[in-house]
Amino acid sequence: MPKSNSGQSLLVILLVMAVILTIGLAVVSYSITDIKISQQEEESARAFSAAEAGIEESLRVGAATGATVGEITANVTEVIQGGGEDFNFGESKFPSGELANVWLIDHTEEGALNPAVSFPYNGQIKICWGEETTLGSSTPALELALVYEQGGEYKVVRQGYDPVNGRTVGFDESLDKDGGNCTSGLAFSKDISLAGGVFNLAASDKPYLLRLKLLYNSELQPIAVQANSNLPEQGKCYESSATVQVSGITRKIRQCQFFQAPPEIFDYVLFSTSDLVK
């Protein structure tokens, strides 16, 4: 074989070997990456399971407590909800028609009602809701029901607030629509006085519960309240964090547990001092 042909053959062999080596390295790299992703997904799932176990155990005992799944330990912290002038339901958001309850009387450590400690009958509360100030068909209106005790009887008074003029018969349209309301900076707000307006509580009356319900919104929307006096505690939020020590993968879960309130049908067996038409 001539020397020139021998050199060309060697060059072709080297090129073929380089291509094969490149393909081989790519396959190996892909396999290593795939294995690493699978391991991360598995460890992420294990961390999530441990964090979830921490939440479940804390909800069961009613206090922050850790949980261990395999070699992974979940650390749980708790944050008291309410007890101050501001309350935003643990930053929860609500669909149309779902009740958001604000207790105006205290609870014992066991969760029983403690009417001896309550929000003032003449207290003032700013109710804030919604994220967007732009008005439309899905702009949320708010329905409010105040449950109170008067002379040994429980009564309820209702009022509605709608940012969209003329949409809901009987709803108050005089409210703040400029945004930046409450500490959460929400779109709409209404200031209410328990001893004035449609509520008109007397000194002998005891406010028990505010029940708030959004209407018309097609997406989840926030609600918050801001009072001129400390509100009773409303419950707790737990945050559980679990970390896989080898990889450092961490997963967190947050779950709030508020004091239980009666179902909505409860309001309709109470004496109502006002009616709403939707």
Q: Running DSSP on this structure, what letter comes out for residue 175? A: S
Least confident of 1-5, 38-42, 130-134, 154-158: 1-5
| More reliable by pLDDT, 201 or 57 | 201
Query: What are the residue boundaries of the structural domains of the chain, listed by start?
Result: 80-235+256-272
- Name every residue whose Cβ is closer than 8 Å to that of residue 216 and which is 6 or more positions away in sequence: 96, 137, 138, 139, 140, 141, 167
pLDDT of residue 277: 40
- pLDDT confidence tier of residue 258, bands split at 50, 70 and 90: very high
Contact yes or no for 90/99 (Cβ under 8 A):
no
What is the value of pTM for the model shown?
0.79
Tokens of 29: 């790299």
pLDDT tens digits, one per residue of 14-53: 777 877 877 877 777 766 666 666 777 788 888 888 888 8
In the numeric block, the tokens 């509520």 are attached to: 199
pLDDT at 122 over 90: yes
pLDDT tens digits, one per residue of 133-146: 889 999 999 999 99
pLDDT at 186 over 80: yes
